[in-house]
Chains A and B, each alone.
Chain A
Amino acid sequence: MRVSRRRLVQGLGAALAAAALPLRRARGDGSVERKFLFIFCPGGWDPAWALAPVFGSVATMPDGAVLGSVGGIDFVDNPASPAVKAFFTANAAQSALLHGVEARSVAHDVCLRLILTGSNLPGRDDWPLLLAALGTQPRIMPYVNLSGPVYAGPNVDALVRVGQSGQLASLLDGSPTLGADAPVGLPSAASTTAVDAALARRLVRLQSAASAGRAATVAASAALAEERRIALLAQAEDLDLAGGDTLAERAELALECLQRGLSRVAMVEYYGHRGLTWDTHGANTNQGGSYEELFTALSGVVASLEARPGEASATLAEEVCVVVMSEMGRFPTLNSRQGKEHWTYTSTLLFGAGVRGGRSVGGYDAETYLGAPVDLDEGGPGDTPLTPGHLGATLLTLGGHDSAEQLPDEPPIRAVVT
């Protein structure tokens, strides 16, 4: 890691010129590394309300819902969420569903960590951060988290959180220290340039002096952080990182970051219809409104991906894989408040670049509602119960990385990778 950081930061001096990072650099073969947009639905969505047509099982299904089937994708055609059908009708060929992924807990905190890192131990990087850190191209914000959960470990310096009230944007424009509590204003541009230059020299010296271990890592990350700070300030002149209130707007901002090559990975959280959350311990019907809004936004994401130029391809659609997920599922039957409790098995939707679409892998047992074991290579029934590790390995594979080193016991679900 340290070695690769060193390589990245050799140009610190030069980076003082604003656009020093090569923002649009294709790989030798003309391809560009795959990028990722994560849309995270916290609280535990109910697959039975849209994604998993578990008709005839123990699960309570939405009123009036029927089995929908298009282009190899079976789904729940729920009158409350017509956008789901519209999405799959247009995009089944590039969409894959994973069912019965076991998050092995029923507590939100634990499931979040499990589904995003494959482990319940702290200090592990989550999938988005890992993908960002493994990226081979220099990026200013390798992983930009516009909202949503984050689990950070050794690669935390690849993470940029925008902050829940647009804090990053205000740091960039300097406004946070201009308030009544700091009556002295900002330094002049000339002063900032001179201080930045002196600081850069110190960071370079620190790097050459630091010998090994943590001190060397700190020195290398400090130099890299400074290089990125300067480049990000330049980008911010025409990029509003505070932008967007709705899921659709936030997703657009995420795509803008990917299109500009600022980031390899972006995450946006979708808290549910009218902010009601996906955690429907009461009134499970709220899932319908949330899926409707979510899939409306997803159709917008597809349109935007197709309209935007890619870094090295005709369109961004050729470069970005979209991952739509939640940390858990919901208990098959309704409780006394017409809600559903937590369930450790859940579903994930993948679509876009690299995804072998038109297929669903896994399922839910009609009696026990446990995840059905699968054949990872073929996608049909088999003997491997799906875990978050399989999901992570699949994402690493989609990213062009060998997942075996990181997740030796949990191979990727090759059935959904082109």
Chain B
Amino acid sequence: MSPLFALLACTTATEAPVAADTTSLEGPALLRRLSLDLRGTLPTEAELDLVTTTPDAVWTVSDIMLQSDAFERRFADLVAESWLTRVDEFNVGAVDYGMDAAVEPLLVRDVGDEVPVFLAAVAAEDLPWSEAVEADWTMSTELLMSIWSVERIDGRDSAAEGWVRARYTDGRPPGGAVMTNGMWWRYWSAPNNYNRTRAAAIGRLLLCDDWLVRPIHIDPSEQTNVGALEEAVRTQPSCVGCHDSLDPVASALFGYWWFDLYDPSEMQGYHPEREFLGERYLGLAPAWFGRPMSGPADLGPMIADDPRYYRCAAQRTAGSYWRRTLGDDDFDTITALTEQFAAGDYTMRSLVRAVVREPEYAASGFVDPAAADEAVVTLRVMQPSQLATTVEALTGYAWTEGDYAQLDNDAVGYRVLAGGVDGHGVTVPSELPSVTRALVEQRLAEAAARTVAYDDLAVPASERRLLTEVDADDAPGSAAYARQLRVLHRRIHGHEPDDEELAEDQALATTLVESGAAAEEVWAAVIELQLRDPAFWTY
């Protein structure tokens, strides 16, 4: 087998890693991985100091991270990545609401964030995960509340800026994420689809049981009348296998049935009077895998009562933090995680805690390099969402264009070029560097480095972000310079520079100083180098 095909074969998404002995990250390196995954930012210097002297403290720090607001925000990013809700367009936009087109980026992101922010709130409040599909509340923003029938209610607001606890007032039954506009605007259904896309999304996202994964094969001998497709769905054996269970779930969703797919007044509200249409169109009353529902209000509780629901949460959560898709081969691993989830009263924090404490999470390499397995992501590449939060925290630079966050959209931005998902065409994040990522990193690093260099050198040392050790007239080779370089490496890469790196930085600075560049320009170049270095964007 050629090396190419060997790689193709062993990185197939659902293949579990072989049980080769892995080496594990420890101390500051493990701290860095935990911090980027749990908070989306780098560890603080105090945390690094603590874990450098007391490596075992890393798990205490990790538990503290889990309690932070940043955990809630980062968790929402991970939900968005796997639920594919942060798309660039919905069937209707700001203009359809009579709003200024400039509002579009805000509207599109708010709609796409409703489910992730809500699920992150359930996680942050340590509610049992059943709440994710049973809650009679959601999270909303001023903008969404101004156009939808949603009102603010008492209770804990989100750590995500601008998101408050709210409730729909249009008569929809409780049901957490599966009773939100955010969900059904993303997973919409064309007229002759009769909510099947949506039922399939419930299966895929909440049960990890994807009706689509088994390919349809239409058996010619069964196909007698091309006109009778809906009849075939209920009578032909090759259709019944899926549609018998799919269609009754679809039948429960007709309160979201739209006669016009592009009309805001149709799409924004729940239609209780249409609930009965499911039975009429699909010929089947709402039911959950054979258990009849008395109405859509039963949907959430029945999902939460299905053992697959908790297994699926464990499977998806592990996938998010281990950076691979778990599948059938991971049965035992998922079972073990689900048990820990149960022991933690099904709070998401307890699950995440278990996930990051599994050996696969900390894997850094292989005891026997010959047994190395590409499926284990021993080195992660920051996703665009992490690049954005980390760089902003380090330098104060946020890459925006108008109200667009440039690392979080593809309409005018660079999310897919930087390795992220766009929710439609690109649904699997890239875990490897690429030429377009390199370009994004270059432009981001240039702008961020220049911003912080100019900002820092304009204010007293005590008010600076990164250039805390030097003044504009310190020269390369001075003690202050060397100290500053060490601080930069530690802050940006999480470890001390080696001699070669220090010499490289000094040489870079010297070259630029000799060419007559101002101190701001010199430091911008030095910082840019550290930000483009894989030591920054891998972890």
Contact = CB atoms under 8 A, between A and B. Distances in A.
Please say whether chains A and B are actual partners in one complex. Answer: yes
B325 A123 contact: yes
Given A153-B428, A168-B439, A225-B438, A214 B374 contact: yes
A216 to B, nearest CB: 8
A344 B218 contact: yes
A123 B428 contact: yes
A205 B191 contact: no
Contacts of B227: 333
A380 to B, nearest CB: 19
A167 interface: yes
Contacts of A190: 511-512, 515, 517
B432 A156 contact: yes
Contacts of B406: 176
A110 B434 contact: no
A388 B430 CA distance: 24
Interface string B391-429: 000000111110000100011111011000000111110
A326 to B, nearest CB: 15
Contacts of B412: 165, 167
A214 B400 contact: no
A217 B432 contact: yes
Contacts of A369: 226
A176 B414 contact: yes
Nearest to A150: B425
A167 B413 contact: yes
A166 to B, nearest CB: 9
Interface stretch (A193-201, A251-259, A293-301, A311-319): A193-201
Measured as residues with beta carbon below 8 angstroms from the partner, the interface class of chain A is: 35 or more
A2 interface: yes
A281 B192 contact: yes
Contacts of B377: 214
B19 interface: no
Contact of B416 (A102, A112, A163): A163
Central interface residue in A102, A167, A344, by most chain B CB within 10 Å: A167
B419 to A, nearest CB: 8
A170 to B, nearest CB: 9
B8 A154 contact: yes
A212 B369 contact: yes
A217 B414 CA distance: 23
Given A1-B4, A165-B412, A177 B399 contact: yes
19 contacts: A120-B213, A122-B13, A157-B432, A161-B417, A163-B410, A163-B414, A163-B416, A171-B439, A181-B400, A182-B399, A184-B447, A184-B451, A188-B517, A191-B525, A194-B511, A194-B525, A218-B432, A281-B191, A335-B192
Sort A-B residue pairs by CB-CB distance and give the 9 closest, nearest first.
A123-B13, A213-B372, A212-B372, A177-B447, A212-B369, A1-B7, A228-B435, A184-B450, A229-B438
Interface of A: 1-4, 58, 102, 104-107, 109-110, 112, 114, 120-125, 133-134, 140-141, 149-157, 159-161, 163-165, 167-168, 171-172, 174, 176-177, 179, 181-182, 184-188, 190-191, 194-195, 198-199, 201-203, 205-206, 211-219, 221-222, 224-226, 228-229, 232, 281, 331-333, 335, 341, 344, 365, 367-370, 405-406
Given A171-B414, A181-B401, A229-B442, 5 more contacts: A121-B14, A150-B425, A154-B7, A332-B226, A344-B216
